[in-house]
Each structure stands twice: as structure tokens, then as C-alpha cells.
Amino acid sequence: MNEANAGGSPVNDVVARARAAQRAWADLTVDARARRLAPLKDRVLDRAQAIAACVQGEVGKPEVEALLGEVLPSADVVQYWTSHVEELLEPTPVDIDRLAYPAKEGTIHRDARGVVAVIMPWNFPVALPLRTIVPALLAGNAVVFKPSEVTPRSGALLVELFDGLLPEGLLGLVQGAGDVGGALCAADVDVVVFTGSVATGRKVAHACADRLIPCSLELGGKDAAIVLADADLERAANGVLWGAMMNAGQNCASVERVYVEKSIADAFTQKVCELAAKLRPGIEVGPLATSAQRAIVARHVRDAKAGGARILTGGADGPDDAGREYPPTVVRVDSDETALMREETFGPVLPIAVVESAEDAVARANASRYGLTASVWTRNRKKAARLARELRAGVVTINNHGFTGAIPAAPWSGHGETGWGITGSPLALDVLTRPRFVLVDRSRAKSELWWYPYTPALTAVATSMAILRSSARGLFERVGALFRLVGAMMKRARGG
Ligand code: NAD
């Protein structure tokens, strides 16, 4: 393992070792790389309990959530990419007009970018990094990974899983806080894949802009769930509650706002409150990862209450440094103008607002600076499809919420201040590779039509081609242009 702890220059050393290992790795066939990484899947599964215990110890999530949210999706990620990467990286031929460009063959290749910096948050400290590390390595890159300072042991365990599978130094680990992340962005890396808060994402974007290297940013969310009058009430209540409370609400795609149609609002709210009151602390809902996070959650709920919101279940008084526990909380709100409805809360709080119509709900859902995922709960598929098109979100789920990050073939991305990153799906390869277009010319002609010298015949060729290609020109005009083109081509062939 290639590891550094804090400070600027150790980071540079790890990056240098990764770069040194990368070229030979990229020279292997894709299939050879996939075979080297394939055992990772069983290693993840075999060490499921250890991974779950480590994550639970660092961030407090219930063991079953670690198994469902960190272990199984990670094994699926390895399975998906090792099975499909060869086909996805296959060079693709390009359509070339044989008349305009005779005897030319062009192919797009996808090359590794080089060294990929992967900077990650603490909320899914194993599954999130692996979503990028696995395809990045398979595409021929080296990776330098910086876990969150809140989850250094999960980060180290993740890297340990690769022991003996990769060339020395190819996967580097740097541990530390923001200064180490900053040093990594400033080091000799070719792309930064970042997941975290908007504030840090901005810093990463600036750092990458200074170096003119690309970055991928997956940032915060304020996801809305829209519950329509014809929804299956039981399913909607169960699903929205899970979407809000899973991982104690510390999920970028948590339900952080519910817009429910008036006619079922009371029944839905009552059902959600009943279910929320039954959630067992530590079994279904763990503590928050840090006391700082709890303080944000408590402030949002307190401010909303002061602004007229009603706490229907849960809520907690007491000082902001009152440990890490916060109970599952359901709040009825009228206004969207509070922090609880505008900023990322990242806690086990479900604010419910009543709307007059689906259109009203979409307008309010879209009036956010974030745009990660959104869900629509309805039995009307046609209406759901229309609303899905209107919602400003990178992922829209109908009658479900927020779990699709676990599907390796599905893209995960956002709008607005959620950033422009894409993880998951073949589209993620756009971040992790760069295209190289190779053109082979099999022409035996001594010269091309468009090469020197520039003559009146060449001008006539170009002019008649422009007329011929324009669908706005009449038939008569185009036939005339065709004759002029043939004449000019013959003249050109004779050296004119
Ligand atoms: P954070 O922004 O505080 O930290 C994220 C990472 O960036 C950490 O590793 C941190 O050490 C590092 N960092 C801090 N300063 C840096 C700098 N100047 N340069 C480079 N790196 C730096 O975020 P967090 O609190 O760890 O995570 C929670 C946030 O992550 C939430 O906003 C959540 O919505 C977001 N998130 C988004 C997604 C998504 O897919 N969109 C997924 C998970 C989490």
C-alpha cells in the first residue's frame, strides 16, 4: 500500500509513486486488468462483517445499513465493472462520409487519464469511494484516495482489500483533513473526483481551474418527495420515511422535503408519524456521525419551530453539544423559507408541506439550489412520466426513493449546486478516461482535394458542395451544382 499521513510533500510522494506505476498498468489489456481486480468482489463479501463493524464504529450507522448500503453495493460494483469494462472500453469506429473523405478510417479509443484523485465524505465511506476507484483502475488509471478525516479506518480497510491485486503504488492512500485534500488537488494528478459539501466542492473546483484539470463534483442535496392524492398511502408512507431516516438522514439523496396533496395530507402525515414513532434508536436509526452534524439538525428544527412549523413527533431540546443522538422527527411546515426547507439538514428529520396540486409540488420541489434526486408517489404512470420530465433532478424515482446509487449501471448526477459529477453507469467513464481519435488514411493518391494549391477549381468544388448539401436549395439549383462539381473535380484532378 502507498500511504501518506498529512502534510504537503508526503502527498506528492504518493502521487509520484502512483504515476510511476500507472504506465505499465495502462499497457495491460483491459481484460488482464479486469482479471486482476475480479477477486475484490469476494474479498468484500468475505469481509462483510469486518467492513460493517468498522463503518459502524466510525459513523454509528446500524450494522444492517452498513451491510445493505456499503458491502452489497460494493460487491455489485466490482461485478458490474469487471464484467462490462472490456466491452465499454472497446474502440468504436466513426462514421465517415466516403465520398468527401475517401479511404479514411477513424476510431475512438478511451485512454486512461493518468492519476485520479478521489476525495470522499464520511457518510458512505466504503461504497462511495469504490464506485469510482474500481472503474478508474479498470480504465488504466492510478488512483490516490483521500477518505474523510471522520472515517480514516474505513478508508484504510478499503485500500487493504486490494492487497496483492495491484502493482505497488498504483492505489495510494492519503489520510488527513482539508489541508491534505487541498494538497492532493494541487499535486500532479490529472483529474479530481470529489464527493462532499458544496462549500468544499467550490474550493476543489477553484483549485482544479487553476491547474486546468477537470474535476467531477457530487455535492449536497435537498431532495423532495411528491406524494399525489392517488398514491398507495401505505407504500408512500413506508418509502418516504425510509428515504428520510436511512443512515439517520445523512444521505445526499435523503428525503428532506415532502410535498403532499391536500386530500390525503392528513392521512399520510398520521401514517408517517405512527411509523416514525416506532423506529428503534440504534437498530433502525443510528446516532449522527458527529456532534457538529447534530448541532446543524437541531438548529434547523428549532428555527423552523420558531417560524411556525409544528413538530409532530420527535424533536429534541437541549444544548447543541448534546451528544450525537437525534430522534426521528416529523415536522409539518407551511413555508419553504426556513433553513429546514432550503439548506441541507442531513439528519433524521422529515418536513411535510401540503400542496394544492402536482404542479404546485413540482414548482416548489424545483425551487431549490440543489437538484440531486426526487421522487413521485402515484398510481398514475402517465402523470408520473410527465412530472419526471419536469423535475429538476439528476435521478427521479417513481414510487421509490434514493436507493439507485446501489445500481452500478445507473448514472448518479445532479443539477445546480449538486454539481456536475457523474458516478455509476458507462457515463462515468467520461470522467475517468479521455477520448483519443485515431484516423488511418489508406488513400494512394499523391494529394488530397483540399491540399495546396488553392485554385479557382477548388473554390468551385467547395461552392457547389455547399449548395448540394443545403436542403434549403431547390432541385434545379442542386442539379446545376452537381454538374459544376463534377466539372470542377475533373479540372482539379488534372492539377487545376
Ligand atoms: P466535506 O465537504 O466536509 O468533506 C468532503 C471531503 O473533502 C473530505 O474528505 C474532506 O477532508 C475533504 N476536504 C475538505 N476541505 C478540502 C479542500 N479544501 N480541498 C480538498 N478536499 C477537502 O463533506 P462531508 O461533510 O465529509 O460530507 C457530507 C457532504 O457530502 C454532504 O453535503 C452530502 O450531501 C455530500 N454528499 C454528496 C453525495 C453525492 O453523490 N452528491 C454523496 C455523499 C455525500
Calculate the alpha carbon distances from 251 to 82, 112, 257, 438, 493 in Å: 27, 30, 13, 43, 67
Mutate to test the pocket of ligand 1, among 195, 218, 418 (most ligand atoms within 8 A of CB): 195
CA distance 297 to 208: 32
> What is the CB < 6 Å shell around ligand 1?
119-123, 128, 146, 148-149, 177-178, 181-182, 185, 195-197, 200, 203-204, 218-221, 252, 344, 372, 412, 414, 418
Spatial neighbors of 334 by CB under 8 A, at least 6 apart, are 308, 309, 353, 354
Cα separation, 422 vs 420, in Å, equals: 7
Closest among 173, 180, 184, 148 to 7, alpha carbons compared: 180
User: What is the 198 CA–ligand 1 centroid distance (Å)?
Assistant: 8
| Whole-number Å distance between alpha carbons of 193 and 407 | 19
SS3 of the chain: CEEEECCCHHHHHHHHHHHHHHHHHHHCCHHHHHHHHCCHHHHHHHCHHHHHHHHHHHHCCCHHHHHHHHHHHHHHHHHHHHHHHHHHCCCEEECCCCCCCCCEEEEEEEEECCEEEEECCCCCCCHHHHHHHHHHHHCCCEEEEECCCCCHHHHHHHHHCCCCCCCCCCEEEEECCHHHHHHHHHCCCCEEEEECCHHHHHHHHHHHHHHCCCEEEECCCCEEEEECCCCCHHHHHHHHHHHHHHHHHCCCCCEEEEEEEHHHHHHHHHHHHHHHHHCCECCCECCCCCHHHHHHHHHHHHHHHHCCCEEEECCCCCCCCCCCCCCCEEEEECCCCCHHHHCCCCCCEEEEEEECCHHHHHHHHHCCCEECEEEEECCCHHHHHHHHHHCCCCEEEECCCCCHHHCCCCCECCEECCCCCCECCHHHHHHHEEEEEEEEECCCCCCCCCCCCCCHHHHHHHHHHHHHHCCCCCHHHHHHHHHHHHHHHHHHHCCC
Q: Name the pTM for this structure.
A: 0.95
What's the sign of the alpha-carbon dihedral 93, 99, 104, 108?
negative
Distance CA 329, CA 286 (A): 13
Atom of ligand 1 nearest to the CA of 121: 26
Query: CA 245 to CA 146: how far, in whole Å?
Result: 27
Q: Cis omega before residue 453 (within 30°)?
A: yes
Q: Output the nine-digit C-alpha cell for 291.
A: 456532534
Residue 256, Cβ neighbours under 10 Å: how many? 31
Question: How far from 201 is each of 83, 154, 205, 377, CA to CA, in Å?
Answer: 32, 22, 6, 32
> According to the model, what pLDDT value does residue 321 have?
67
CA atoms within 13 A on the CB side of 9: 0
Q: Give the residues across from 416 on adjacent strands.
A: 370
Would you state the pLDDT for residue 314?
94
Q: Which three cell numbers stand for residue 122?
A: 464520511
- Each of the 496 residues of the chain gets a pLDDT tens digit; together they read 456 554 447 999 999 999 999 999 999 999 999 999 999 999 999 999 999 999 999 999 999 999 999 999 999 999 999 999 999 999 999 999 998 899 999 999 999 999 999 999 999 999 999 999 999 999 999 999 999 999 999 999 999 999 999 999 999 999 999 999 999 999 999 999 999 999 999 999 999 999 999 999 999 999 999 999 999 999 999 999 999 999 999 999 999 999 999 999 999 999 999 999 999 999 999 999 999 999 999 999 999 999 999 999 999 876 666 789 999 999 999 999 999 999 999 999 999 999 999 999 999 999 999 999 999 999 999 999 999 999 999 999 999 999 999 999 999 999 999 999 999 999 999 999 999 999 999 999 999 999 999 999 999 999 999 999 999 999 999 999 999 999 999 999 998 8
Q: 412, 407, 494, 406: which is closest to 453 by C-alpha?
A: 494
Most ligand 1 atoms within 8 A of CB, residue of 123, 174, 206, 417 to mutate: 123
Give yes or no: 252 in active site.
Answer: yes
Query: Is the CB of residue 343 less than 8 Å from the CB of residue 365?
Result: no
Instruction: Tell me, in angstroms, the distance from the centre of ligand 1 to residue 460's CA.
Output: 59
Residue 218 designated active-site: yes
